[in-house]
Structure 1
Amino acid sequence: MQGRLLIYVLGLLIMMGANAQKITVKGGFIEDSLKIGEDIHYWVSAEYPDHLELIFPDTTYNFSPFEFSGKEYFPSIIKTDRAFDSAVYTLQSYEIDPIQSLSIPVFILKPTGDSTRIDAGLDSIFFKQLLEVVTDTTSLKTNLAYQNVPTQFNFPLLWIILGVLMVLTLATYLIFGKKIRKTIRLRKLKKDFIAFSEHLTMDIRSLKEAPNQKIAEHALTEWKNFLERLEQRPFSKLTTKEIMALEYTGELNGTLKNIDRCVYGGRSSDELYKDFQAIEDFTQHRYSVITDQIKNS
């Protein structure tokens, strides 16, 4: 490549005119077309009196619309007080204009420090498209057949959602946990109390009609089990004496003894149902006391 460029430039220099004082600058593209980002070459030659000082542009020059990539300078040739200089620039373009033009100048330096710019002739090069231009009349092939595209589950998004839910759940529990626990316990106690009251009412009705040891034992067991859940004490395992030792059961002293005579002694009384009515009143009072304590805790 370098040899061909040298022969090309030397041929242009030899063909220049012989006017002794005339300054002649010529230039142009070696290629006739370009592609985006591809190296192209622009030659510049100058013929001038050998007593003048002439310089070619360097990397600081604005080669727009092209970008500088490299420069090859050929040694000066002196012939009968005439100097012949030449250089080849390697450029690149990233523009898509159909025609792109450029003129690279040279500069004559004066003793005063100023310089005179002399432009080479403007030359153009054609942009070569890599893809064929699609016209408005080009028809598109339509395919309406269903294409089954496999889906991939988004596991990272799932872990993010689960993490957020766990944080929200933990925050809710820390902020409202105590209130939630109280609400749950109150609802459970209410449900248990309603069921206990219905069963006890049926047992009292049966005992009022005819005192029965088994019914009395069943009602006593049901009462102890409910009171155990209400008071959170092991009432089902306590004896009558142990129950009466509690600070709030004094009113049940005679009541529990009458029930024990029937359940464990087999001695029934027509007034036995009244003892269970007293149990019912006591339990209603304790339910109100405990639920108020839970609400106000």
Structure 2
Amino acid sequence: MRGGLGKFLIVTVTIFFSVKSNGQEISVKGGFLEDSLLIGQNVNFWISATYPPSLEMVFPDSLYSFNPYEISGKQFFETRVVDGLAYDSTVYTLQSFEIDKVQYLKLPAIILNEGDSTVIETPLDSIYLTELAPKVSDTTALKTNLDYQLVNTQFNYPLMYYILGGLALLVIILLLIFGKRIIKWFKIRRLRAQYEEFSVSFNSYIKKLKVDPDPVLAEKALILWKSYQQRLEKVPFTVLTTKEILGKDFTQELELPLKSVDRVVYGKRTQEDVYQDFQQIEDFTQERYSKKLEEIKDDSSSSKK
């Protein structure tokens, strides 16, 4: 394989010193740092962009679908401005569990506009799968092993089948009698557990942002909220833009806090009161959670009548 991060640094330096010749054009490049991969082994994919500093450009976060790869890490480099052009770059550490001999990937860079955002993709790059197991041919010989092997005594399978059959019958009877109540109970229990876990983590981010309004910390809090809200509403919040989120009929009260958070996260700007925006977002989520909980309870009550 090629030297991973070393090669990326060479690519970074090359692009950095070529900024002057690019004028005011927007340029997005990327590709694998390695030539080949092993199943489950880390490989790196770099993406870089040059663009006018007046624009706001973001790269995919950890919730982006890197299919057929799974992301295991991310390293981003601070924005540089040279001769009137901004330069951004990020390296993603990925893993693949696919067995295709040649695998492909391209990533988007998103320019945030007042209206719809603009997506510019890197060229499609490929990487080869290295197979470790030798191919088995018709002439492959099997090695004979005649050593004595100790085996367990015979198991009473008929008795096991009777026991399993009786348990299955008991479970079916219980489900027929208490099935709906049991399902409702599990739904409520799961809903409460998910919200409590989210609330503890999210409020921890709010406390940290109150002390240190760091844009990276704000991005992590935003990702956590989108992930939980997606599970709660069954709406793909993690892939929606702020404009698309506000297009839902139940998110109108999020307009001011979400736009404020976007300026911090995607504009890399420090805003002392950003924690208050997240408090408003948390209040909205608590209200939506309470509504979902009441819907399940009301459905449970109506089923008893």
TM-score of the superposition, structure 2-length normalised? 0.46
Larger radius of gyration: 1
TM-score of the superposition, structure 1-length normalised? 0.47
